[in-house]
Amino acid sequence: MADEREANGNGQPSRRGRFRRVWILPVLAAAGIAIGALQPLGFDDLLAHGEQVGASPLFLAAAVGGMIVFFTFGLPGSLGIWLIAPFNPPLTATLLLLAGSVGGAAGAYTFSRKMRSDWKPSGPSARIFDLLRRRGDLATQTALRMFPGFPHSVVNFAGGVLRLPPGTFLAAAVLGLAVKWGIYASAVHGITDAVAAGEAVSARTLWPLFALAALLVAGAWVKSKIR
């Protein structure tokens, strides 16, 4: 915003802009302390209420629809996992998350086809864009979808701007995100069940976490190769 920049145009946040950002922190801290002190709902009550609402078809439709809209316009649609995965079986959660993210990818692809062909992101995202310009095959797109740390919005918009084949684009989205969401949903649901039942963390709970760690390591390796 113009009122958050210095008049000399040096691009540094003004005193007013810095104040607006800083005052939010104590407000959030005070709110967290108040909620923790009052404890309006215990964890078991909160989880039971969440399971009741989170399994509602209307709520799930709204969550999936929100993911589609968010992904279409480059917003963080991945946050939908916290609305779906804790309260639904892993397979159901994976299918719902897949519907939202692939639907959003298709929307972003269609939307970005109308953008200028010379559009190019900056910073680390530019390297992903350049990679897809050079190699937009199924394996490359699937890897970018599957590994954590790669922004889906860049892949989605690059697909439309570069006019990547829509069949390959959607197939890669389904394959890569099915693996990623399957692991994420299993990890979140397993931990939620273990905490709710007061059980120790078991091998059934740990294997998705190990798989997620492996994806993180592989993703970091792929990112280093892209750089």
Q: How far apart are CA 37 and CA 134, in angstroms?
A: 55
Q: How far apart are CA 211 and CA 139, in angstroms?
A: 20
58 or 55, higher pLDDT: 58
Looking at residue 218, its amino acid is: A
137 or 2, higher pLDDT: 137
User: How confident is the model at residue 186, as a pLDDT?
Assistant: 86
- Return the residue matching tokens 């909620």: 35
Looking at residue 19, its amino acid is: F
- Rounded to the nearest integer, the mean pLDDT of the chain is 75
Write the burial class of residue 148 (CB in 10 Å: 0-12 exposed, 13-18 middle, 19+ buried). Answer: middle
| Contact present, 129 and 178 (Cβ < 8 Å) | no
Which run of H or of E encompasses 175? helix 166-197
Q: Is the predicted pLDDT of residue 36 greater than 60, yes or no?
A: no
- Report the SS3 class of residue 120: coil
Q: Is the predicted pLDDT of residue 108 greater than 90, yes or no?
A: yes
% of the chain with per-residue pLDDT over 90:
28
Alpha helix segments (H runs only) across 39-123 = 43-54, 57-72, 81-84, 90-112
Q: Is the predicted pLDDT of residue 7 greater than 50, yes or no?
A: no
Q: How far is CA 73 from CA 95, 105, 107, 158, 219, in A?
A: 22, 10, 8, 13, 24
Go through the chain and tell me how many residues it has: 227
Question: What are the tens digits of pLDDT across the range 175-208?
Answer: 999 999 998 888 888 777 766 665 555 555 555 6
Residue 143 DSSP symbol = H
Q: Is the predicted pLDDT of residue 10 greater than 50, yes or no?
A: no
Tell me the mean pLDDT in the region 135-162: 87
Q: How far apart are CA 192 and CA 169, in angstroms?
A: 33
| Contact present, 18 and 4 (Cβ < 8 Å) | no
Backbone angles phi, psi at 203, to 5 degrees: -60, -35
Which run of H or of E encompasses 95? helix 90-112
C-alpha 122: how far from its chain's center? 20
User: How confident is the model at residue 17, as a pLDDT?
Assistant: 47
Q: How far apart are CA 4 and CA 52, in angstroms?
A: 44
Residue 199 DSSP symbol = P
- Degrees, nearest 5: CA angle 197-40-36: 85
Backbone CA torsion sign across 57, 179, 49, 79: negative
